[in-house]
Amino acid sequence: MSEIKGIVVAITGASSGIGEATSLLLAERGAKVVLGARGTERLAALADRIVRAGGDATYASTDVKRRQDVAALVALAHERYGKLDVLINNAGVMPISPLDDLRVEDWDEMIDVNIKGVLYGIAAALPVFRSQGFGHFINIASTAGFKTVPNQSVYSATKFAVRAISEGLRQEAGDRLRVMVVSPGFVATNFADRVTNQSVRAQLEASRAALAMPPSAVARAIAFAIEQPPDVDVGEIVIRSTAQK
């Protein structure tokens, strides 16, 4: 608890799912949370909920496909609170489909959000972390970053990339920065909503119903890593329901 109270955490994709659950948990434990997502109405409602519960939250409209948006989120954290302890690169999309569908726009979206969004977060926060002499990157990958299956090749590729980028960053970070990857399995979120191939969507929804864990489980894993002493780096957590093999 003492390692979380008073820290400043910026979170992308904060308005729903893992991001929302993590924001609520960290704020409850005393963190000052800086919320970023595209939907400002949901962000405002989440920030208000945190403040009314006695927490400290602010927010900014953030599309991680826009480097300037991610930079502005990090700047907001630093300007409002004087530091940034943790950046959680959580925003992600999963409009999966068979390659034969040739949904190139969906491929681009996954690359732009899942890979470039993480890189933009690193580009924004790394100079801040270097300057202040401490900082913690938490990048959300997936169990799909270990193994791919039909219909998920592009999505899996983006999550393999997040793990590779994170490991490279960890090796370059030195002994004063921390870098962590969280690789969740199925989570009870709205990830299937943007899948346009109806048969693939039905498969995902069935798997979610049978295998998904609550977003709060991932939030607790993130909190566990943050609350470790500053010289202890939890490099990766793979978390899935016991039903998922």
Encode pLDDT of 126-168 as tens digits: 999 999 999 999 999 999 999 999 999 999 999 999 999 999 9
Torsion sign, CA atoms 193, 196, 202, 204: negative
Torsion of CA 48, 50, 51, 56, to 10 degrees: -120
- Specify the pLDDT at position 1: 42
Residue 244: inside a domain, yes or no? no
Sheet holding 236-239, edge to edge: 56-61, 32-37, 8-12, 86-89, 135-140, 177-184, 236-239
In a domain, 46, yes or no: yes
Q: Residue 176: inside a domain, yes or no?
A: yes
CATH value at residue 121 = 3.40.50.720
Packed helices 40-52 and 17-28: angle between N→C axes, nearest 10 degrees: 20
C-alpha–C-alpha distance, residues 6 and 235, integer Å: 23
C-alpha 16/C-alpha 117 separation (Å) is 17
Q: What's residue 245's pLDDT?
A: 82
Catalytic residue among 59, 81, 120, 155: 155
Residue-wise pLDDT for 163-218, tens only, equals 999 999 999 999 999 999 999 999 988 767 777 778 888 887 887 888 889 999 99
Could you list the residue range(s) of the whole structural domain that residue 13 is in?
8-239
Q: Which two tokens stand for residue 4?
A: 């979380």
Residue 100 falls inside a structural domain: yes
Mark whether 155 is an active-site residue: yes
Q: Is residue 132 part of a domain?
A: yes
* Any domain includes 3: no
| Both tokens assigned to 224 | 């566990």
* 175 within a domain of the structure (yes/no): yes
Question: Could you give the maximum distance between any two Cα atoms of the chain, in Å?
Answer: 52
Residue 80 has phi, psi (to 5 degrees) of -75, -40
Number of domains forming the structure of the chain: 1
CB within 8 A of 47, min separation 6: which ones? 35, 57, 58, 59
Per residue in 53-107, pLDDT (tens digit) is 999 999 999 999 999 999 999 999 999 999 999 999 999 999 999 999 999 999 9
What pLDDT, in 10s, does the model give residues 25-35? 999 999 999 99
Structure tokens at 202: 């039905």
Tokens of 199: 């048969």
pLDDT band for position 2 (50/70/90)? low
Residue 209 within a domain: yes
User: What is the pTM for the complete model shown?
Assistant: 0.94
